[in-house]
Amino acid sequence: MSFDPHNVDLDAADAADIICYLNASENDYDGRLGARISAIFVILIVSTAVTFFPVIAKRIPRLHVPLYVYLFARYFGAGVIVATAFIHLLDPAYGEIGSDSCVGKTGHWGDYAWCPAIVLASLIAIFLLDFGAERYVEVKYGICREDPEPIMTTTARNELPTAAEGSHDVKNKEAELESQSDNESWIERSFKQQIAALLILEFGVIFHSVIIGLNLGVTGEEFSTLYPVLVFHQSFEGLGIGARMSAIPFRKGSWLPWILCSLYGLTTPISIAIGLAVRTTYNSGSFTANVVSGVLDAISAGILIYTGLVELLARDFLFDPHRTKDNKRLTFMVISMLWGAGLMALLGKWA
C-alpha cells in the first residue's frame, strides 16, 4: 500500500514513509539561467586564483610575498579543511543517510548505523595508506624515525670548518657529495609522503565540490544566498589545498602543482554546468540522490577528518621537528587556523 499523506494514522503509520514524504522534493529550478551561468565563471576564476596564490607565493620568490601573508594562507587553509570535515561533510552525511533520515529508516540502511561506519572505514583506509606510504619510503631510503633527519646532518656538516689544501680537499668534496645525496634523498622521501597526503585531501574535497556544484545548478529560491556563500566556500577550500601544495618540495619546473590547482578550480564549475544540463530532471531530494550524496559525503568526511587533524594540525604543530620556536609566529599561526575553522563553520549556516 502506498503512503497517503492526506490520510495518516499517527499510531500506525510507518515513520519511514512519513520522513521520506517530508524530505522528498520536486525539482526546485526556478529560472535565473543567466545568474547560474555566471556562477560557473565567477567560481572558476575566484576559487582557482585563491588556490594558486600560496603556490605562486612560495615558488616565485621575486614577488616578495610577506612571510606572514603566506603563513596566514597556509594555516587559515588548515582550519578550513578541519571545519569542512565536520560542518560541511559529516553533518550533511547524517542528514542524508543517518538513522533519522529517510534512507536511514529504509530497508537494510535501517539495520545498522552506516553513516559513522562509512566515515570510520574511510578514515582507517586513509590511515593505512598513509602509514604504508611512509613505511615504504623509510625502508627504501633506510631511514628510521630514531635516525636524525638527513637535512639536519647536511646542515651540521656545512657548519664544520673546512681545510683548504691537500687530502682535506678530497675529503671535503666527498663529504659535500655525500651531503648532497642525503639532502636529495630526504627531499624525495618528503615529497612522496606529502604528495600522497595531498592527493587524498584533494580527492575528498573534490567529492564534496561535485555535489554542491550540482545542487547550485538546480536549487530554487535559496540560489541568491547559496551563490555568494559558495564563492567563499570554494575559495576557502581552495586556499587550504593551495597552502598544503605550497609546502611540498616539488622539483623545479614541475607542472604537477599547477595541474592539481587547476583540477580543483575546474571541478565545481563543471559540476554546476552539469547541474544546469539536467536542471529540469535532477532532484537533489530523491532517495537515490540522498544515497549517493550521503555516501560520498561520509567518505569525504573520513578523509578530511584524518587529513585535517593528523596531516595538518598534528604534524605541523605537534610533531614537526623544524617548527619555529618564535612565540609570536606560533601565535599568529594558531590564530590564523582558528579564523579559518571559525569562518568555514559559520558558512555552514547557509551551505
Quote the pLDDT of residue 152: 41
Residue 102 lies in a domain: yes
Half-sphere exposure of 107 (CA within 13 A, CB side): 6
Other C-beta atoms lying within 10 Å of the C-beta of residue 321: 8
The DSSP letter of residue 316 is I
pLDDT at residue 3 greater than cutoff 70: no
Confirm whether 15 is domain-assigned. no
CB 286 within 8 A of CB 24: yes
Domain contains 168: no
- Dihedral sign from CA coordinates of 189, 191, 194, 200: negative
Find the mean pLDDT for residues 290-296: 91
3-state secondary structure of 112: coil
The average pLDDT across 212-220 equals: 83
On whether residue 36 sits in a domain, the answer given is: yes
Asked if pLDDT for residue 266 goes beyond 60, the answer is yes
Name the domain count of the chain: 1
Q: Is residue 21 part of a domain?
A: no
- Mean pLDDT to the nearest integer, 45-57: 91
Is 38 within a domain? Answer: yes
- The predicted model gives 39-43 an average pLDDT of 93
Task: Pick the most confident of 100-114, 276-290, 293-307.
Answer: 293-307
17 inside domain: no
What is d(CA 231, CA 216) in angstroms, rounded to the nearest whole number? Answer: 11
Is pTM beyond 0.85 here? no
pLDDT at site 153 = 40
Of 287, 348, 329, give the one whose Cα is nearest residue 109. Answer: 287
* Domain membership of residue 249 as a residue range: 27-142+178-348
Q: CB of 77 within 8 A of CB of 244?
A: yes
The answer to the question of residue 119 being in a domain is yes
What is the per-residue pLDDT for 338?
96
Name the E strands within 32-76.
none
pLDDT at residue 102, as a whole number: 85
CA distance 34 to 183: 54
DSSP 185-243: HHHHHHHHHHHHHHHHHHHHHHHHHHHHHHHHHH--TTHHHHHHHHHHHHHHHHHHHHH
Question: Cell match 543567466: residue?
Answer: 34
